[in-house]
Amino acid sequence: MCIIACKKKVYEKEMPTYGETSTEINGVKWSNDIKDVIYDEKGFSFFAFKYKEVGGVHTVFEILSFHKIEQTKDRQTVRAWIIGQPSSNPDSIYLDATFTTTQADGDVSCDLFQILETDSVNNWIQITKEEGNYNEVWGNYSATFTRHSGCASSPYTDTLRMRNGSFHFKFK
């Protein structure tokens, strides 16, 4: 028998903030704090969390994430993350992004949006400035996402066009 448990709530103030990101989703301004940054041999990843208050508790409601961003100022193409992609082959890992939502009190997943690869002109990220050997990073991005799975209570359409995206973070 195996019992797995996790902390029921993740409080917004308990998580450090590394920076911020903003974009327009289908023409509507969207901005959030970057709450996690991960560096590894393939590059870095960042995760922006949006919170909502449920019963007096701030819970994660939306997550925008970019994975495996190379440490270069060249414009990089963002691809779709393939569900079930084998993680045992590090050479198969490439720059991708996802946008997810939750429902209820944040414990139930709702939407999973993946990059629409046929819109490759608009799926990119670019570092515009860095300091301290990528300890602090500024950049821009654009992405088109389509819904891979969702729920009836989703506030989003099946296609999300993120335009005029920018980010800045400082790894602590």
Closest CA to 42 of 111, 95, 5: 95
Angle at the Cα of 54 from the Cα atoms of 52 and 59, rounded to 5 degrees: 50
Per-position b or e across 144-155, b if 16+ CB within 10 A of its CB: bbbbeebeeeee
* Strand-pair partners of 161: 144
Range of the domain at 27: 12-170
Is residue 3 in a domain? no
pLDDT of residue 71: 93
How many CA atoms does the CB half-sphere of 11 hold within 13 Å?
Answer: 5
Is residue 6 in a domain? no
pLDDT of residue 1: 36
Below-50 pLDDT ranges, the chain: 1-12, 86-89
Taking the C-alpha atoms of residue 27 and residue 161, their distance in angstroms, rounded to an integer, is 8
Is residue 25 in a domain? yes
The overall longest dimension of the chain from CA atoms, in Å, is: 50
The total number of structural domains that make up the chain: 1
Is residue 137 in a domain? yes
Query: Which pTM value belongs to this model?
Result: 0.83
Is residue 107 in a domain? yes
pLDDT of residue 58: 65
pLDDT of residue 105: 57
Is residue 70 in a domain? yes
pLDDT of residue 107: 62
pLDDT of residue 91: 52
CA dihedral sign of residues 133, 136, 138, 142: positive
Taking the C-alpha atoms of residue 125 and residue 75, their distance in angstroms, rounded to an integer, is 6
Is residue 44 in a domain? yes
How does pLDDT run across 59-103, given as a tens digit for each residue? 677 899 999 999 999 999 999 876 555 444 455 567 899 998 887
Element containing residue 169 per DSSP (H, E): strand 159-170
* DSSP string for residues in 61-108: EEEEEEEEE-SSSS-EE-BPPPTT--TT-GGG---EEEEEEEETTTTE
Is residue 140 in a domain? yes
